[in-house]
Structure 1
Amino acid sequence: MTRRFHFISGLPRSGSTLLSAILRQNPRFHADMSGPLCGAFNTLQGELSGSNEYAVFVSDAQRQRMLASLFESYYGPEYEADVVFDTNRGWCAKMRHLRLLFPHGKVIACVRHMSWIIDSVEQLVRKNTLLPSSLFNYQPGGTVYSRADALANGEGLVGGPYNALKEAFYGDEAGSLMLLQYETLVSDPARAIAAVYDFIGETPYAHDLDNISYQADEFDQRVGTPGLHEVRRKIAVRERMSVLPPDVFRRFENDAFWLDPSLNPRGVRVV
């Protein structure tokens, strides 16, 4: 492969779109919001498994080539970047596969205090009062409590990626993983981006952190959640009160395991 592939993953509402918007200023880089490649990867992997009667004709070497070819096929000649960052929350659950296919590839997992992730989703729901969101299967009912439960369960928008993040953090491939905290990205973006460049071994680039540009208005409108991928032009810390009831906020406030060095036995870099 002529390109280098890296991956942006981690938790929702934790800065992955902002990170992509910054990285794509570098003309050598391509980065974007979450895309379809991880889903296609899972589908192809399933079709090459024993569930398909013809899988007996497929060797592991063929599986590896076919799965790897997805990336070059998707990022074809219309993408001129030397370095591609593919974004999907599912990549943290695919660390073994990525290490096999891309031995030099890195995974940057965006993380944030869980209470503020739940808060951010709830804020979007309230902002778009008249539009049921795909985040909750377009169901118009429910309360802040039922929405928090749905988000946090193992199959939910937050719970699923959270479990995948812990698997990656404690797994054998943790050396390919870096955690980038949302709090660092918005309060000290220069340090955050410098850490990303150092982690992936690329020459630093002079990013314009006061002039960020990214739009996905059509996508956000289609999924019934305008503002889902909104990126403000200038990065800044914006203090506000949580919209969550205190008991819901407290439920998640101790879930940031990455803040405790004693819970980081593999020495994963946390920025």
Structure 2
Amino acid sequence: MPLPLVHFMSGLPRSGSTLLAAILRQNPVVAEAGYISPVAPMIVKLSSVMVEGEYQTEFDTETRDRVLRGVLLNYYGKLPAPERQRPVIIDNSRIWCTRVGLANALFPGSRIICCVRDPARIIDSFERLIQKNPLLGSKIVPIERRGNLYSRIDYILAADGPFGFCWRAFNEAYFGDMAHNLIVVDYDRLVNDPGGTMAILTDALQLPAWRYDFERVQFEEPVAFDHNLNSPGQHIVRERVGAVHRRLAIPPRNCVATGGGHILARS
């Protein structure tokens, strides 16, 4: 069986990565593509054992590459190879934007799909998800930061918050020396022109052309994963691809400063 072709998915949260993965899985050569996996943090932690401390002398470059590559391949297990086609794995993690060089070293020729979206809409999406489950107390925001809307937004935008970290990671990759490995997919472009967006993406990922069905998108919701974060419905995908127009759930004059002097505002 041929080794799978590996690509990655990263970028900003609440920006359509689950929807995009669900659409990509319609292509018969895509064996795996889903919500965030533990592969990237496993590789990062294992790598630190190999390059520092008492065991670093036991790993040469070839051994390190083989072991780290094996983490991903063994996590996804034995993949069915479509006839005369090389199976494709698309691993999803926000960390990949901070490890573009590592991804390319382990899987040469791989690309990183970066899903992006208007930051105000991302914050709005987080707030709607939190408000949707008021009795659970979503673990997306620590309990001590849930007091009011503004404290929640401050945490979401913080350097270690769910948007702040990803924003910095994406900028690191986008303005880095390996930016040519990125494929940036804008959420609004995806939902307003899914056919055109998927045609470009399919070609960029070297997948065989496929007629994707944007009227019947199916994705098995990771119920246990979402409930563990007290955020059921976090990865629900609507069956029909299309834009949903709605007013923001955050105050109209909300302005929050982020690192580096940038201001995210909604007028």
Task: Tell whether the structures are fold-level matches, with TM greater than 0.5.
Answer: yes
Distance in 2 (alpha carbons) for counterparts of 1:33 and 1:117: 17
Distance in 2 (alpha carbons) for counterparts of 1:25 and 1:249: 40
Identity of aligned pairs, percent?
Answer: 34
| CA displacement at 1:218 relative to structure 2 | 3.1
**Residue type matched to 2:66 in 1?**
R
| CA displacement at 1:66 relative to structure 2 | 1.4
Query: 8 Å contact 1:107–1:178 — kept in the other structure?
Result: yes
Distance in 2 (alpha carbons) for counterparts of 1:46 and 1:32: 26
| 2:243 equivalent to 1:237 | yes
| CA displacement at 1:78 relative to structure 2 | 4.8
Alignment RMSD (CA, Å)? 2.0
Distance in 1 (alpha carbons) for counterparts of 2:264 and 2:150: 18
Out of 43, 46, 49, the residue aligned to residue 48 of structure 2 is: 46
Alignment deviations for residues 202-224 of structure 1 (CA, whole Å, 9 cap, x no partner): 22111111001112233222210
| CA displacement at 1:79 relative to structure 2 | 5.3
Structure 1 residues 80 and 140, CA, compared in 2 at 3 Å: closer, same or farther? farther
> Residue 244 of structure 1: SS of its match in structure 2?
coil
State TM-score, norm by structure 1: 0.88
Query: 8 Å contact 2:145–2:155 — kept in the other structure?
Result: no
| 2:212 equivalent to 1:226 | no
Alignment deviations for residues 158-199 of structure 1 (CA, whole Å, 9 cap, x no partner): 111111101111111111101100011111111111111121
Aligned to 2:66: 65
Aligned to 1:167: 172
Query: 8 Å contact 1:6–1:84 — kept in the other structure?
Result: yes
Query: 8 Å contact 1:132–1:139 — kept in the other structure?
Result: no
Distance in 2 (alpha carbons) for counterparts of 1:84 and 1:19: 14
Aligned to 2:119: 114
| 2:30 equivalent to 1:25 | no
**Residue type matched to 1:201 in 2?**
Q
Distance in 1 (alpha carbons) for counterparts of 2:130 and 2:119: 17
Aligned to 1:84: 89
For structure 2, the residue ranges without an aligned partner over 5 or more in a row are none
Out of 150, 153, 161, the residue aligned to residue 145 of structure 1 is: 150
Query: 8 Å contact 1:10–1:92 — kept in the other structure?
Result: yes
> Residue 9 of structure 1: SS of its match in structure 2?
strand
Out of 202, 208, 217, the residue aligned to residue 213 of structure 2 is: 208
Aligned to 2:98: 93
Aligned to 2:192: 187
Aligned to 1:265: none
Distance in 1 (alpha carbons) for counterparts of 2:90 and 2:250: 33
State TM-score, norm by structure 2: 0.89
Structure 1 residues 131 and 140, CA, compared in 2 at 3 Å: closer, same or farther? farther
> Residue 214 of structure 2: SS of its match in structure 1?
coil
Query: 8 Å contact 1:68–1:101 — kept in the other structure?
Result: yes
Query: 8 Å contact 2:256–2:264 — kept in the other structure?
Result: no
For structure 1, the residue ranges without an aligned partner over 5 or more in a row are 257-271
Alignment deviations for residues 84-122 of structure 1 (CA, whole Å, 9 cap, x no partner): 100111111110101111111011100001111011000
| CA displacement at 1:135 relative to structure 2 | 0.6
Structure 1 residues 140 and 93, CA, compared in 2 at 3 Å: closer, same or farther? closer
Structure 1 residues 87 and 79, CA, compared in 2 at 3 Å: closer, same or farther? farther
> Residue 247 of structure 1: SS of its match in structure 2?
coil
